Every structure is written in C-alpha cells, then in structure tokens.
Structure 1
Amino acid sequence: MLNARIKLRHLTAFLEVAKRRSFARAAEALSISQPGISKAIRELEEILETPLFERGPQGVSLSQAGLTLLRHAGPALRALDEGVGAIGDGHRGTRWLRVGALSTVESRLLPLAIQHFHAAPPLGIGEVCVSVVTGASAYLLSRLRLGELDMVVGRMTEAREIGDLYFEHLYYEPLVIVARRAHPLARVAPVAADQLVDYPWVLPPPQTTLRQQVDSFCVRHAITLPPLLLETLSLPVSHRYTLESDALWIAPREAVIGELDKGELVEVALPFEAHGGSVGVCTNASMKASMSRDAFCETLRQVAAQRIRPRS
C-alpha cells in the first residue's frame, strides 16, 4: 500500500525534476517557486529516508534510489493521467501510440513502419493513431522511463541513459560524411582527414550518441573540430545548409540516402565508421503491456528486414 504521507504533488515534483535535471526548470514547468519544489523533494526524501538526487555543478542526477522510484512512479502516474483523461475524452475510441524518434530513423524506417501499421491494422486492435516526438537520445529515453513514451526508435546502443530499459537491435547503420555535388572534396579520392577541417561541419549536438562517434573519429585521426560548426538534429536544416554551402554533413546514411540516390549530395571518400551503430527499439519493461506497442514493434522488425538495405 502506498505510504499515506506521499502525496501526488511529491511525485509530480519528483518526476519533473528527474526529467529536466534542474530544480529551477522543473519549478518553471510546474509554475511554482523553486523553494516550493525543493520543499516537496525534501519531504519525499524524508518520507522514503533516502536521497533521490545527487547535486553537482552540471545540475542534478538521480541516485540509485531515485532511479528505482522513477522506474515505477513514471508509468504509474502516466496510467493515472490516461485514466482521468479517458473519462472526459469525447473521442473515447481513439488509441494513441507514442513513439520517440532519433534522427537515424526519421527519413525511412519510421515513416515506412507507420505507413504499414496504418495500412494493415493488426487484428483485434483496430485503428491506432501515432504521435512522434523527436529529440536527443537522453531526452527521449528519460521520457520513456517516465512512461510518457511507449518506445524510442533509433541508433542508441552507446547511450548511457538506456540503463534498465530494454533495447532490441534491428540493423546496423553507419555514419557518413556527405557534401553537395559540386563541393571541392566531391571528386577527391581518397580524402585525408586533415582536409575536412578546412570546411564547416554539420554535426549532432554535444551529449548525443552520434556526437560521441564524431569525437571518437577526431581522436582516431588526430584532428580537432573546425572553427565553423552547425550543431543540430534537424534534418531539413542540415540538408538545406549543406546544399547551399561548402559544409560537410556527418549524418546517418539512412538520413541522407534519398539525397545520395538523387545525386543532390555525394559521400566524401573517407569512411567514417567501419561497422556502423546498432539501430533498434527501446522499451520500458515496467510499463503495462500494450497490444498496439507489441504490434508496432513487430512492424518495425518486418520493415527493417524487408525495406532497409544499407549500401555496401
């Protein structure tokens, strides 16, 4: 039985701080004062007789006890919220699947999977609407852990935030360096690593799984990042900037395969990765079983096996 001293405000404050890694940002999101949210967390820690957060110069992080509470409190409050919402929802028949998408799957895998899922709804489930949220792996995985997403799809095996979540591998996808067709390096083969730093780079932001691979590439080739950088996870921004400048875009091959096939972009003759990273689907085993989630995971497996054909 839930401790009677634990109130909904305690758990709401805890989940918001866990998601935003900041007391100030959590207070702003909940429209309460920072002392108010600090008091709620302090009361919850006193009730549970254990610290839930570790304070540091970069903000706050969950303690082991905090991770344990998050694994259960997030899905529980999410289920309560859905139950209350369902009572007042005039569209009671509508079902939603909440999918977190990394840039590695935005262009091909996920759109194809949703198309197949809607074209042939699984028997016994009926029509299911899909809500897609994009962002960095740390943000999406934190929302999955909170129960705010049903799954996260993309390349994330290097993500430290996976923790106790379940990751299922679908296929390998390498990062590539691409440029506009008339780029000075487009006809150079092979390209030396030190030639790359003469041009602006388009690359993932810090603290992302893909950026870790960029940093490793620089270390392997004894180069530093160029002075001009565009850091973004936006595919349209990256695409347009690369087409209209001498920038080099470091991207998952799946994200640029269409532009490569059309000849708008070309791959620079310097392999970025020998093998590639594991693209897959991450789920939260502590969440209530869902037929629509399981059916969509199966659709992802089928599309990955039949439609995704990485170039050799």
Structure 2
Amino acid sequence: MNIDTRIKFRHLLCFLEVARQGSLARAADQLAVSQPAISKTLKELEEILDASLFDRSKSGASLTEAGLAFMRYAGPCVQALRDGVNSLREGEYAAGTVRLGVLSTVEGLLVPEMVRRLHQHHPSLVVSVLTGPGAYLLSQLRVGELDLVVGRMTDNPEIHGLTFEHLYSESMTLVVRAGHPLLEEGADRRSLEGFPLVLPLAGTSIRKHADGFFVQSGISPPRQRLETLSLALSRRYVQSGEAVWIAPLDAVRLDLAAGELVELDLGFKEPGGSVGICSNASLPLSLAAQWAVETLREAALDYREGRLT
C-alpha cells in the first residue's frame, strides 16, 4: 500500500473540517458537499490508514487517539501546501501575512508594540490577529490556521504537543478607577464583597490564576461579577463605576502609568505566570512568522527591563 499516492488533498480537507466542526453534517455544509460524500471520504481515509479517526454518535464526531495523532500532521501539511501555492502567485501575496493568536494577557502592551516594530521594518507585512480563549487559539494553531499564539497559556491542556518559548513572567493585579471608595484613607481594601468584580471567563487558563489570587489572599470574591476576556469592556466598566478588576498587569500597565486606574495593594503579589510564544513544530515557520518571533523577543526584553511603557 502506497500511502503517498492513495491519500488525496480532499481526504485531508474532509478530515480537518470534521475535526474542526465536530459534526459530519456541519462539515458537509462548510465544504458544500453532501453528508454521504463526507462519510464516504472519511471511510476511504480510515481504510487507507487502517485506523478509526472519529468516534461517531448522535451528538457528533470526536477525534479518537489515532485521529488526534493524525491531526498533528494533517493540518500543517494542508497549510504548507496552501503556502506553497500562494508563493507562486506573483504579486497576490507578495506582502506576506503572519497569523497570530493573541490572548488578552498581551493585548494591552506587548503585541501592539510588536506590531508597531514589525511595520516599521516591514511596511507591506499584513498582521492578522485572532483573539479568544487559549484553548480555541491553540486548537487553531494545531491544525495550521495560525502561525503563532502569544500569551499566558502554559497550564492549558491544549498546549500538549506544541512548542512554547518563555518570554517573561507576569502577575495579576487588582485595579479600580481613580477616586474609588476603596482608595479612601482608612478603607478596608480586603472587604471587596460590596463591589462588582471583573474576572476572566470561567474555564480559561487566566481565570485559574485569578481564582488563585483570592484563595491566596483569603478573600471571598464578590457575587456580582462581569466575566469577560474583552479588555475594552472591562476597562470601560471599571472606569465608569465602582467595579474591581483582577487583570493581567500587561493589560493595565499604561492605564496605571496615566493614573486612570489604581492598584489595590493587599500586601502581596500573585506569583505570576509565564508569558510566551507557542508554535507548531510540525509546520516550519514562514519568513513573516520568523520576523514576528524575533520582534516579540526584542519587545519582551524591553518589557522585562522596564523600557517598554
């Protein structure tokens, strides 16, 4: 059996779309084919590989262990082929594109500075940024839809099998607007129950650190909460009211410097998590992605040494 000649591009596209959608019916809609055609293509691929790639049920299709192993190579293979075809289309992709997954931990300072420096040296480069929960971004990296993911993610189970490069450690902090009642002389800053709380979404890696902050302090978090990964929403909500925001320091560093937000000092610091770059070793980095990695390293060095403000 010659694997190289029997596996076709359509087999890989079908496999990846079913893995992405978790459903044969939704994958069929996305690929504009019938569900029987999807089933037939998957069956052909599984026969060629002599392995079952999906567990099928009424609720959908989930990857088996064999499917997970195959996905590590199928996604990068398809993306590499797309890149190769695009590189031959003179002019259409001449500027180059780097596709970044960006966690909220680095939206405020590191990534904007990286993009500014990249465009300073490579004016025609397109930087495409996707934000969202770490698990989703890492899954997109795994199937070749992203070149890099940047942020705080080392305790996310989706990082297994991917490559992580540490840039710096960053802690969480409690912040409020200037003039907040908790900043008044004599105010008990450990009594937060009477104020709304802004937290990262439940289930995200950064939320685990936020919850740990309260465990370490021995403070019961308020019941009234806004849970979001949106920095813009969090910032506006806190600046316009009396909410307390537990935020990554990078996200609020500029607001603190400008005096628009103020840290609540509870007498200790959250130990901090590792901020870094995650890549898929199965897929060689494009030149644009290599530029992004180099620039992130430079910006992170300035961040660590206090030159990035």
Q: TM-score, normalised by structure 1?
A: 0.84
**Aligned partner letter, 1:174:** S
Asked if 1:160 corresponds to 2:157, the answer is yes
List per-residue Cα deviations over 1:249-275 (Å, max 9, x = no partner). Answer: 121111011111111111122367532
Q: How many residues align?
A: 305
Question: Residue 155 of structure 1 contacts residue 278 of structure 1 at CA under 8 Å; is this kept in 2?
Answer: yes
Structure 2 counterpart of 1:75: 76
| Contact map agreement 2:192 2:221 (CA 8 A) in 1 | no
Query: Which segment drifts farther, 92-101 or 24-33?
Result: 24-33
1:185 aligned counterpart, secondary structure = helix
Question: Is 1:149 the counterpart of 2:150 in the alignment?
Answer: no
How much does 1:56 deviate? Answer: 8.9
1:299 aligns with 2:295: yes
Aligned partner of 1:176 among 173, 194, 204: 173
Distance 1:178 1:27, change over 3 A: farther
* Partner in structure 2 of residue 65 of structure 1: 66
Q: Which residues of structure 1 form unaligned runs of 5+?
A: none
Q: Deviations over 1:44-74 (max 9, x none)?
A: 3344232334579997653332222111110
Moved more, 135-144 or 91-100: 91-100
Q: Distance in 1 between matches of 2:14 and 2:37?
A: 9
Residue 24 (structure 1) shift:
5.6
1:51 is matched with: 52
Q: In the superposition, relative to structure 1, how do residues 230 and 38 fare at CA in structure 2: closer, same or farther (>3 Å)?
A: farther
Q: Which moved more, 1:246-255 or 1:267-276?
A: 267-276
Percent identity (aligned): 48
Change (3 A) 1:33 1:182: farther
Check whether the contact 2:153–2:274 (CA below 8 A) recurs between aligned residues: yes
SS of aligned partner of 2:3? coil
SS in 1 for 2:232: helix
Unpaired runs of 5+ residues, structure 2, are none
Mean Cα deviation higher: 101-110 or 12-21: 12-21
1:296 Cα offset (Å)? 2.1
Q: 1:283/1:21 Cα in 2 relative to 1: closer, same or farther (>3 Å)?
A: same
Q: Which residue of 2 aligns with 1:191?
A: 189
Check 1:249–1:39 CA distance in 2 against 1; reply closer, same or farther (3 A cut). farther
- Matched residue of 1:307: which SS? helix
Q: From the superposition, tell whether residues 66 and 104 of structure 1 become closer, same or farther in structure 2 (CA, over 3 Å).
A: same
- 1:18 Cα shift? 2.7
Deviating more after overlay: 29-38 vs 263-272: 29-38
